[in-house]
Structure 1
């Protein structure tokens, strides 16, 4: 009985399998210029693999000197093709993107320009690569920027909202925390942003149970608007005395103010409060750079990064940066310390050296070697050059040497 039942099932199943196989289309032999393939047939059944190779001076369109292609329902995957052996295949560059060629490969001499992923930057400022004789010359490297941040800190009873998980965050990134139901941050808020500044996240909030939204943790405010004494122990922003600032309470007179407990913590340098009535409170909290006005200029340098929370500087060619490359805006309207650009070159006036061919003034970077042509002498078989090196602002010139002497370090 069981055997007859199994036979009945097989009779029903096999026609379906045969029908599925019959619907899959076969492939015609591919047209392969300047190459050959095996097996050589007129048509190939579905899922047949074909092996091919190319004539001298050519190569398959995929890696290797031979390749395979598979018939998939009437089409070859991939389409067999022979290309110039000096062509290049798309490179793999971690943490980078570039515009891929539509035909899937690049001719000799083609150049690609890469864009690093967010949070990464080009090493040594190299962003391009050139296809030369079938290989890529010096592929760019995208490395993690020193100004990026890792994953934001984990906060008890809080989650990060509106942000997918990632390991690297670019400078000036922001993430928003939200407290668990029944918990609040200082000041009675349930949501708060933190920012990535110079490789470090600003101070993260804490979520506490039963926080009063009006006074923080039991804080109180005493005094009025006309110069009275004010004491604050709850949330808020560090205050500098009279006037009105969001989150600092009231007060339009010149009364003395003391702040403690919660509040916004300065990102760099800290801040100080005073117990003496006439002592000024120093404020070094970092704020968006637009609050400080136009970017400051530095001689022989330029702003190359204009971000929300800082400016990034770089020196012109032949100068080196001294000091911080990032400049922040402080809450008191002043800029943080500016960098300077120090000369990093030597100059050689060729007209001042009798052995050199006059060619004007030449500038050489620190540590760099250049060859300056020497005045031709009758007993020389070839042109001679003086090798010039720059050390700490002084140029050193070698004797006039032949090309061979220079290449073998005999000069």
Structure 2
């Protein structure tokens, strides 16, 4: 580059900076970049652009359009069934304010216990999951006993697993591990068996049994399953031979694959740097951030959850 060209660039940059300075500072905001005539700014924490635009131009008559950073205000936090706000409650909520929830006794909190006022909206709220109540009558109808051999009404919190066994009048003496899911439990029915043998156990996609498969299995036998790496097993881990048939086998739920191409199309990148593909197991969360000079829409959230191979990418514009 010639000395004359270098001087011209310095003069151009100096003029541009001087022009931006002439327009004055941005109240509750700051300039982050200047390219030719375009100035990019950002608002301070707790503030947002009035018109959602973060680019402006300094003209001889001032900023065009005029950048305005206004206070982010949220409505009252969402009402959660069977829960109450235990901290952070106030008359007015601004960007960055946090409230904390607590479920009623016996109910299980699913999701974050704290939500944040962000972009005039609240981050996704939690949910209170109902416990399961298994009555003595249900146990008698299904010919079931609790793991200790007793028969009484019990309360089981959501996402907890309890073991049941068949009573003395059933030939099937195998334990059942049943999980409570938001007030629901699918109890097995114990009936007298014929003692028929079973053939090879059922196969599952993206998983296998933990031992070598046999041609024939005795009545009451069981096999245990496991899934491939990053896959999440759903259902009872074991399948039992019952009257010549196998009980229901589990399924392996596929993970999400986060690629550079997907992130680029949404103008986002990982919150924590990674040069490789990222595998996220079903039910796990992953956090993103906007690429430079892009901003997150008010209806989006940086922290998203993988659901059976699908991930709701946030969109930055």
Q: Which one has a bigger Cα radius of gyration?
A: 1
TM-score, normalization: structure 2? 0.34
